[in-house]
Amino acid sequence: MKLIKIKPQLVDHSLLHKPVPIQPQARVIKRPKIVPEVSQNYSGLFNLIGFMILCIAGLIMYNRWSDKDKIETEKAHSIIGFNEYVKESLSQMPQKAETQKSEPDINNLQ
């Protein structure tokens, strides 16, 4: 038995017609007018607020820079005043009377 190899045709070309080219029609396309929405632009306001914040921060930093020596001297005076207060309070404390100890103290071995 001999096998016949026939390539089947999947499409019947006699049923299909060539496409007819469509001729463009001279139509005028009406585009709707775009009406811009009224929106408020806040970018200028945000820029103004940001600029004011920067100016305030700059003034604060300049004030701290100009008063730096004054602040340092006040800190030094407060530390010196506290030291003097401690010295005075220690000198005014009553001294403990020396008592004879029968047993030597661990901290004070002689």
Tally Cβ neighbours within 10 Å of residue 37: 5
In whole angstroms, what is the distance from residue 63 CA to residue 57 CA?
Answer: 10
In a domain, 65, yes or no: yes
Is the model's pTM score more than 0.85? no
In whole angstroms, what is the distance from residue 37 CA to residue 31 CA?
Answer: 18
Q: Count structural domains, the chain.
A: 1
In a domain, 82, yes or no: yes
In a domain, 66, yes or no: yes
Q: pLDDT for 14-31, tens place per residue?
A: 787 787 787 777 777 788
In whole angstroms, what is the distance from residue 65 CA to residue 69 CA?
Answer: 8
In whole angstroms, what is the distance from residue 67 CA to residue 83 CA?
Answer: 25
Q: pLDDT for 32-87, tens place per residue?
A: 888 877 778 889 999 999 999 999 999 999 999 999 999 999 999 999 999 999 99
Give 80's contacts (C-beta < 8 A, 6+ positions apart): none
| Res. 102: pLDDT tops 70 | no
Which residues form the domain of 71? 57-92
